[in-house]
Chain A
Amino acid sequence: MNVARLVPYALAAIGLGAAANALELRLWTYGEPAAGLFPFLAATLLVVTSLLSTREKVPEEEAIELPRLIGYSAALVGFCLMLNIVGFALAALLFLIAVLTLIERMGWKKGILLAALFAFSTWGLFEGLLSVPLPQGMWRM
């Protein structure tokens, strides 16, 4: 079964959960709309339209290089986690090295050089020149 066909069902389930949560906030109090009214209406609309969408055609699946996509997604997650530990500059360097050398199959020397160039010039531009605060991580780098 095409995984994309499950998306409208997942959205309908989110809508049902949100509607139940909105009901707990109450819809109408003291003759005025309460906090739950608008989310409830939005969630109900989501359930109805998602269920209607299940009858629609899903676009033809194009061939995806799954290992490539999984590799990139893992690198993204790793990048986010590393930001919290080693800060922007080092996390960006490691992320770019991983992407350029392991996923894009660039040579190690060229990959590391380009990664260092992009990571440190971006960091220098924003943190050094423009004083835009970037994540420092637990190591305060």
Chain B
Amino acid sequence: MLDSLTQLLMGLGIALEPTNLAVALLGAILGTAVGVLPGLGPSATVSLLLPVTMVLDQTSAIILLAGIYYGSQYGGSITSVLMRVPGEASSVMTCFDGYPMARQGRAGAALGISAFGSFIAGISATLAIAIVGPAFTSVALAFGPVEKASIVLLGLVLAASIGGGSRAKAWTMVALGLLLSTTGVDLISGEERFAFGISYLRDGFNIAVLAMGLFGVSEMLMMIERRSSAESAPIPSYRLRELLPTGKDWQASRGPIARGTVLGFFLGLLPGGGALVAGFASYLLEKKLSRSPERFGKGAIEGVAGPESANNAAAQASFIPMLCLGIPANAVIGIIMGALLMQNVVPGPQILTEHPELFWGIVASMLVGNAMLVVLNVPLIRIFVLLLRIPAAMMAPLIVLFCVIGAFSMNNSLFDVGVVIGCGVVAYGLRKAGFDLAPLLLAFLLGSLLEENLRQGLILGLGNPRIFVESPISLTVILFTVAILIAPAVRDLRTRLIRKPC
């Protein structure tokens, strides 16, 4: 451990060099902008900057790209809170409670706790990377398709409990999300499913496009359905001190930030886990642990603090499997790995011995970058909150413009624009019929992961599903899932028996 800290200090020396400080600042600013604007994603920006990194040295190049990646995690929550339009797919969870908080005039508190939570999580995750990260990568390898399938199944059962309304309706949305996730070419057999000969559907639906339609456009339709509803938004205060989280907010957020950091760190280490699943897992955990879970979805600050911390911790931790094992956790990390390869650095276990200055320089730059991000973002809260002064009559069409730009920029396709608008109209109908959309989106996200791992697991087990109970990790998770599934029925039965007079 002492050795790791010595190495980290050496890395700090590299990260604090003027060039590296400048590229970290540039990365942080670009990342925040990328996160805020729905038209730009970190994958596109990092790809565009790949040629630029060739003129920088190895460490500076990766510091710049890493800054954009974790900066986008900070910025992505801003439009989620203010407009219910997730700037990044990983900030979808922030919409659930951040937006209701903004409607109650507490946008500043939501943005503040999100910035500070991300900062605390980022710093803690970086220190954890320095101390235990490389050792934990071998633990991550113990999770194969069988274990992952069981974990995703557990996530799916928990997804059904996330929304408001009845369990039957929540499960209907889970089923619809799973069905939507199967659209496109089946990656194992190569057969087309539900594409109906439409070439655009061969790649399936994009999660960010779906999220913009489900939340952004449907919210816009809810906003304009009555003239009075379009005029009822409260006008927030503009003094920074009044905008920041109060002592009570901090008290409520302490636990969620700590738990979100730990959860996000471990999920970030798992290849395929990433920031998106981390935010979702943290939200579910906070809702399960809360004494008043009914507040979630209506503006509970814990629902913002936990997922935002988990997102950022996972974003930092996801560098470890890439650097130490050569396994990218998601698309952005994959592109950053490409930048390393372009610099003739092959990621893998040897990186710590062959390029210690690169590894520790990147880890230390995360500490510096996170500090820069919080300094940049907190004063900006005042400016972001000014957006809420825009009357709903103008905000509604602006949401449409942002959704259209965001959807089109994914694949330069007008089909995606149609999907956003179509999804928004369908989502409006579902909301009017009392269906909650959160389980739908989460099931869509988990659906492809579940199918992929379930089928790979069955192939490994030669078609015998017994393989899922032969692995101790998988068996434990399955038993836990069954317990969660039958718990409400047991509770009902117990209540009935108590009520029945002997």
Contact = CB atoms under 8 A, between A and B. Distances in A.
Chains A and B are bound partners: yes
Most chain B CB within 10 A, of A33, A45, A63, is at A33
B433 A45 contact: no
B329 interface: no
A58 B434 contact: yes
Contacts of A69: 221, 224-225
Interface string B340-368: 00000000000000000000000000000
Interface in B367-420: 393-394, 396-398, 400-401, 404-405, 408-409, 412, 414, 417-418
Nearest to A5: B433
A76 interface: yes
A136 B182 CA distance: 32
Contacts of B189: 34-35
Interface string B160-191: 00000110110110111011011000101101
Interface stretch (B139-147, B270-278, B454-462): B454-462
Contacts of A135: 408, 414, 417
Contacts of B188: 35
B178 A42 contact: yes
Interface string B424-442: 0100011011110000000
Given A59-B434, A68-B226, A95-B397, A42 B179 contact: yes
B15 interface: no
B39 A126 contact: yes
Interface in A94-141: 95-96, 99-100, 103-104, 106, 114, 118-119, 122, 126, 130, 132-135
A130 B39 contact: yes
Tell me the dominant secondary structure on chain B's binding face. helix
A106 B425 CA distance: 25
Contacts of A50: 172, 175
B227 A33 contact: no
A80 B421 contact: yes
B455 A53 contact: no
Interface residues of B, number: 59
A11 B463 contact: no
Given A21-B194, A122-B405, A132-B40, A72 B169 contact: no
B227 A65 contact: yes
Interface residue SS majority, chain A: helix
Interface string B188-206: 1101011000000000000
Interface of B: 37, 39-40, 165-166, 168-169, 171-172, 174-176, 178-179, 181-182, 186, 188-189, 191, 193-194, 221, 224-227, 393-394, 396-398, 400-401, 404-405, 408-409, 412, 414, 417-418, 421, 425, 429-430, 432-435, 447, 450-451, 454-455, 458-459, 462-463
Interface of A: 4-5, 7-8, 11, 14-15, 18, 21-22, 25, 28, 31-39, 41-43, 45-46, 49-50, 52-53, 55-59, 62-65, 68-69, 72-73, 76-77, 79-80, 83-84, 88, 92, 95-96, 99-100, 103-104, 106, 114, 118-119, 122, 126, 130, 132-135
